[in-house]
Amino acid sequence: MAWTWFHKLGSPPYVFRLAETLTPWFWWISAVLIGYGLIGGLVISPADYQQGEGYRILYVHAPTAWMSLQVYVVMAVASAVGLIWRIKVAHAAAASCGSMGATFTACALATGSLWGGPMWGTYWEWDPRIIFELVLLFQFLGYVGLRAAIDDKQRADRICAVLAIVGVVNIPIIHYSVEWWNSLHQTASVMKLGSKPTMPMSMLMPLMSMFLGYVALFGALLLTRLRAELLSRERSASWIREAVHA
């Protein structure tokens, strides 16, 4: 049947070995893509006519900001799969996403702040996208905190799954409410990335490469963490001994 792959993904030993095989691939792909993106972005592409050299932080900032949202969606989907089909591996994947997502979000905020310093003249602006990222960070931290507060692993998995699903419903609502809040709020005009007319290919290509490189990086980190998570969760299972001694 075509669905056997799906059933196999529910088995911890199979996923553990699959992750072991795939992890180096993800590391290599991300290294190549991020390497090209960094050389293309920092060395080859020209300086921006408005922002000079400072805009180059974009090559790190935009992918991290994008990933922060992607990680939440991945976490929520994994949580839903775990909750509906009671798949332990999916819960383990969601658990691995929590602190990683918080890190991506914190990096997006930090790089955005460093970019805003010279460009907007302030390291912190109550801009809707910054507030959105901040609320997202709080959601990630709440998820990690709730998981840490419940001793029973299985109950923690399922409670946190409900939280992740509620949170993913909340994300678009927060996004639009801060957008509308800003349109109602007469703030000082700030320079927006979106107002740039077009991006030349020499900038766009490295940026795309960075985006894909970060996806691969996330994949590599997720698989590594997933293996650690499976090792700790299944430590009493017999397949662990075979897998570790093999």
Partner 1 sequence: MSASAPLVPGYPQTPALTAARLVLSRDMTLAFRRAGELVQPLIFFAIVATLFPLAITPEKSGLRVVAPGVVWVAALLASLLALEFLYRDDAHDGALEQFALSGQSLTWLLFAKSIAHWILTGLPLAIMGPLTAWSFGANMSALPGVFISVLLGSIALSLFGSIGAALTLGVRRSGVLLSILTLPLTVPVLIFGARATQQAIQGIDYTAGAQLLGALAILGITLAPLAAAAAVRISLE
DSSP per-residue letters across 104-163: HHHHHHHHHHHHHHHHHS-S----HHHHHHHHHHHHHHHHHHHHHH--SHHHHHHHHHHH
Beta bridge partners of 126: none
Q: Does 70 bind partner 1 (CB under 8 A)?
A: no
| CA 97/CA 82 separation, integer angstroms | 14
Are the C-beta atoms of residues 82 and 91 closer than 8 Å to each other?
yes
> For the CA atoms of the chain, what is the radius of gyration?
20
| Cβ at position 181, least distance to partner 1 in Å | 5
Does position 78 bind partner 1 by CB under 8 A? no
Q: How far is the CB of 4 from partner 1 (least distance, A)?
A: 30
Q: How would you class 134 by CB atoms within 10 Å of its CB: exposed for 0-12, middle for 13-18, buried for 19 or more?
A: middle
Interface characters, 179-198, with partner 1 (x: CB under 8 A): -xx--x--------------
Q: How far is the CB of 24 from partner 1 (least distance, A)?
A: 37
Residue 102 lies near partner 1 (rule: CB under 8 A): no
Is the CA virtual torsion 47, 50, 51, 57 positive or negative?
negative
- Contact flag: residue 167 with partner 1 (CB under 8 A): yes
Q: Which residue in 1, 169, 201, 246 binds partner 1 (CB under 8 A)? A: 169
HSE-up (13 A, CA, CB side) for residue 90: 23
Q: Is residue 109 a contact residue for partner 1 (CB under 8 A)?
A: no
User: Given the complex with partner 1, which of 2 and 149 has the nearer CB atom?
Assistant: 149
Q: Are 33 and 213 spatial neighbours (Cβ–Cβ below 8 Å)?
A: yes
Tell me if 174 contacts partner 1 by CB under 8 A: yes
Interface with partner 1, residue 146, by CB under 8 A: yes
Q: Which of 162, 190, 191, 244 is in the footprint of partner 1 by CB under 8 A?
A: 162
Asked whether position 228 contacts partner 1 by CB under 8 A, the answer is: no
Q: Which range binds partner 1 by CB under 8 A, 3-11, 89-97, 114-122, 164-172? A: 164-172
> For 193-229, b where at least 16 C-beta lie within 10 A, e where not — what string?
eeeeeeeeeebebbbebbbbbbbbbbbbbbbbbbbeb
In terms of CB distance, is 76 or 223 closer to partner 1? 76
Structure tokens at 55: 């805009």
User: Given the rule CB under 8 A, which of 56-64, 109-117, 149-157, 217-225 is the region that contacts partner 1?
Assistant: 149-157
Looking only at residues 16 through 45 of this chain, which bind partner 1 when binding is defined by CB under 8 A?
none
Cβ-contact 61, 214 below 8 angstroms: no
- Does 84 participate in binding partner 1 (rule CB under 8 A)? no
Q: Which residues bind partner 1 (CB under 8 A)?
A: 135, 138-139, 141-142, 145-146, 149-150, 152, 155, 158-159, 162-163, 165-167, 169-170, 173-174, 177-178, 180-181, 184
